[in-house]
Structure 1
Amino acid sequence: MKTKAAVLEAVTSQLPFEKSKPLNISEVEIAKPGYGEVMVKVMAAGLCQSDVSVMKGNLVRPLPMVIGHEAAGIVYEVGEGVTGLQPGDKVVTTFVPSCGKCLPCSEGRPSLCEPGVKSNNNGELITGGKRFSKEGKPVSTHVGVSAFSQYTTVAENSLVKVNTDIPFEYLALFGCSVVTGIGAVVNAAQLKLGNSVCILGLGGVGFSALIGAKAAGASRIVAIDINRKKLDMALELGEEIEVYTPEEALKQNIQVDLAIETAGVPDALKLGFSLVRRGGRVVTTGIPSPDRKIDVPIMSVTFEEKEIRGSYLGSCVPKRDIPRFLELYEKGLLRIDKLLSKTITLEEINKGFDDLLSGEYIRIVIKFE
């Protein structure tokens, strides 16, 4: 079977992407689902900064590759051994497949699944091998998903079944930006009712963290970004939200219980560390270049008991958290609709990433037919 997909043939940092065209829209072959696998008709897929990290080579992946990791769609066909899904089911993708057997999975931390991370690094499914090919040569799968394709074949444990009527362009956001941002707040930072929090970086994940902090009952929410337009957009979530540029935040002598850094910028992480009180916690979801490092005063870590921890996939259990977050959205408690800036076609994807990098948009989503 053939499918139209966005294939990354070689990495590049040359901007604009609309001219350098790192993503080639072409027809590729897609294999039928094998044992424990599902073919999904992709209905919507979100553009994310971590996709840019792959396109630029900061996150090294085996090429060529059909990229994209945030999507929602409809089950088209199931392979043998699939027990929890059937054709017609609505699903959200999750970009770390969980084996359910390794130590992290057994500890309730599926985002750290050891076989899942290994298969993702190899550009394969957790069930083994690659399901895309072009001119007889294998094409890698991106983190078990490959969302920028009309159809994709994935492992059953890369999918979460959902029962909802919300439009697919919003549903896709639950595959990455929502779980990563809200999960960072409630799972990694473990925000409690009445805690104060600052969010550093207002992309899709940062805005999700703002939304999550408000829903979780934070007493003070501070939003920090270098882009004044995004700070103005943050105020649309509520006038009680304080907004500052990094320079303004330093002058304000802010002290909060928790800081969530989502920009993947070392200076933002250092700023977050300086803004948390004694005993405070800093959580980072950012993905900078592998060579980027930070220096922090170790004495503050010890004497002030400050913590820095990472959070991948929002430290979520996707089959637990995605349905919960969906329910809260449907009840009007999570303003996920504020994340979607615009929709585009697959053919517009290279320009779409230029738009995302411009800082003028929160989330851009591809709508398929």
Structure 2
Amino acid sequence: MKTRAALFHAVGEPLEVAEIDLEEPRADEVLVRMVAVGICGTDLHQVKGEFQRPTPMVLGHEGAGVVEAVGDAVTRVRPGDEVVLSWAPSCGECAGCRRGRPATCRVLNAAIPNGTLPDGTTRMTWRGETVYRGTATGCLTERIVVSEQVALPLGEGVPLDQAALLGCAVLTGVGAVLSAARVAAGSSVLVIGAGGVGQFVVQGARIAGATTIVVSDPVEARLDAARRAGATHLATPDELRDVIRAEFPDGTDYGFDAVGDPATTATALRFTRDGGTTVIVGLPAQGLRLDLDPFELIRKEKLLTGTLYGSQDPALALPAMLEHVRLGRLDLASSLGPSFSLDDVNEAVDASLAGEAGRVLVLP
């Protein structure tokens, strides 16, 4: 079948909206008409050349849509169902999948840098040439074929533009707090970076019952958004040291780096109190290394850890997030930024690169 998609060719070149060929769904696959796709930091790494992946590639892995067709063996969804895409299906066999952490799946993580689905195929072509998939998904397209495990049922009550955020930013940010760090009620939290994921780290901290939530970001609009999400203290990077010294001289109980740069990780670790926990949430550019003083971990007994996709099984985490939405504890609408058509995908990318406070969406 034919579908229109945004193709990334090379750094410095605009994405090209073109008609590509998409194979029909197999027995265990579904065809989804995409309604909303979020521009994630992972996509921006590719655009900036900080990740090396094969091209041409359809970026996008955070999205929601409507099932149009299903294979004969599909049982979880049917045509007409609204779904959220999860980029981490489980192979069911490797150590990561057996312990309920499919984002760490060896098969999946071998496929992602190669731009393929977990089975090694892409099922997309353009002018006879293979089209690769960003983060084993590639949903900046009008229609997409994915395995049944990728299309998670949404149910009713959540608009699809808001639901798109559940596919990555929400599960990553809220999960980092509730599952990876297990933030205790009454604690203090520092969040470095108030982009799409960072704002949901803030919401996760609020849901967990953190008493104080300090947020640092260089963009004023993002700080304003963090305040609305539940932050109690705001600071630019230049102001952060003074804020911590004045309000939290011993440091915060938890530190979250929602940026992923070695410098921001070092800042989060520095301002975490002795015996506290620092979590790396954001993805760094490919090849960067973290320079650590081991005494920061030994003498001060700090815990430094990382989290991928919220350290949980998305198929189990999504219903929990939807319950938070239903009860009014999790606000999706406030984190939405501007929306663009597929034809205006490059404007969407530019808005994200410029530091737009809300999650930028493409509506194919």
TM-score, shorter chain, exceeding 0.5: yes
Residues 146-181 of structure 1: per-residue CA shift (max 9 Å, x gap): 110000011112221121232110000000111111
Aligned Cα root-mean-square deviation (Å): 1.5
Q: Residues 83-122 of structure 1 correspond to what in structure 2 (within 5 A)?
A: 83-122=75-114
Instruction: Please list, as runs of the form range in 1=range in 2, the aligned pairs for 1:1-369 lying within 5 A after superposition.
Output: 1-10=1-10, 12=11, 14=12, 20-21=13-14, 23-238=15-230, 241-252=232-243, 253=245, 254=248, 255-368=251-364
> Structure 1 residues 256-265 or 138-147, which shifts more?
138-147
For 1:121 and 1:171, how far apart are their aligned partners in 2? Answer: 26
Measure, in 2, the Cα distance between the counterparts of 1:26 and 1:362.
27
- More displaced stretch, 150-159 vs 120-129: 120-129
- Residue 128 of structure 1, CA deviation: 4.0
Opposite residue 107 of structure 2, the aligned amino acid is P
Q: Which amino acid in the other structure matches residue 88 of structure 1?
A: G
- Tell me how far 1:225 sits from its aligned partner: 0.8
One-letter amino acid of the counterpart of residue 40, structure 1: V
How many percent identity over aligned positions? 34
When normalised by structure 1's length, the TM-score is 0.93
Structure 1, 65-74 or 140-149: larger mean CA deviation:
140-149
Gap runs ≥5 in structure 2: none
Structure-2 separation of matches of 1:87 and 1:246: 48
How far residue 102 of structure 1 moved from its aligned partner, in angstroms, is: 1.2
**Is the partner of 1:75 in helix, strand or coil?**
strand
1:126-160 CA-to-partner distances (Å, cap 9, x unmatched) read 24412111112221122232110000011112221
Query: Is the 1:355–1:361 contact (alpha carbons within 8 Å) kept by the matching residues of 2?
Result: no
Following the alignment from structure 1 to structure 2, what is the Cα–Cα distance between the partners of residues 300 and 266? 15
**1:284-327 CA distance string (max 9 Å, x none):** 12222223223222112112111211111111210111111112
d(CA) in 1 for partners of 2:293 and 2:112? 35
CA–CA distance in 2 between the matches of 1:117 and 1:81? 26
The residue type paired with residue 4 of structure 1 is: R
Whether the 8 Å contact between 1:98 and 1:158 is mirrored in structure 2 is no
Q: Which moved more, 1:57-66 or 1:200-209?
A: 57-66
1:203 and 1:95 map into 2 onto residues whose CA distance is 20
Separation in 1 of the partners of 2:273 and 2:128?
58
Query: Shift of residue 360 of structure 1?
Result: 3.2
Q: In the alignment, residue 50 of structure 2 is paired with which amino acid?
A: N
Which amino acid letter does the alignment assign opposite residue 108 of structure 1?
A: G
Q: Which amino acid aligns with 2:272?
A: V
Q: Is the 8 A contact 1:225 1:231 kept in 2?
A: yes
Alpha-carbon distance between aligned partners in 1 of 2:48 and 2:222, rounded to the nearest angstrom: 24
Structure 1: how far apart are the matches of 2:89 and 2:114?
A: 13
Deviations 1:325-351 (A, max 9, x none): 112112211122111012111111111
**SS of match in other structure, 1:157:** coil
TM-score by length of 2: 0.95
What secondary structure sits across from 2:131 in the alignment? strand
Instruction: Give distance in 2, aligned partners of 1:172 and 1:328.
Output: 16
- Which letter does structure 2 place at the counterpart of 1:8? F
Indicate if the aligned counterparts of 1:144 and 1:154 stay in contact, CA closer than 8 A.
Answer: no
Aligned length: 359
Distance 1:149 1:170 in 2: 18
Distance 2:149 2:23 in 1: 18
Name the CA distance, whole Å, in 2 between partners of 1:117 and 1:288: 16
Letter in 2 for 1:271: T
Tell me the distance in 2 between the aligned counterparts of 1:66 and 1:353.
13
d(CA) in 1 for partners of 2:356 and 2:128?
Answer: 40
| Secondary structure of the structure 2 residue equivalent to 1:84 | coil
Q: What are structure 1's unaligned runs of at least 5 residues? A: 15-19
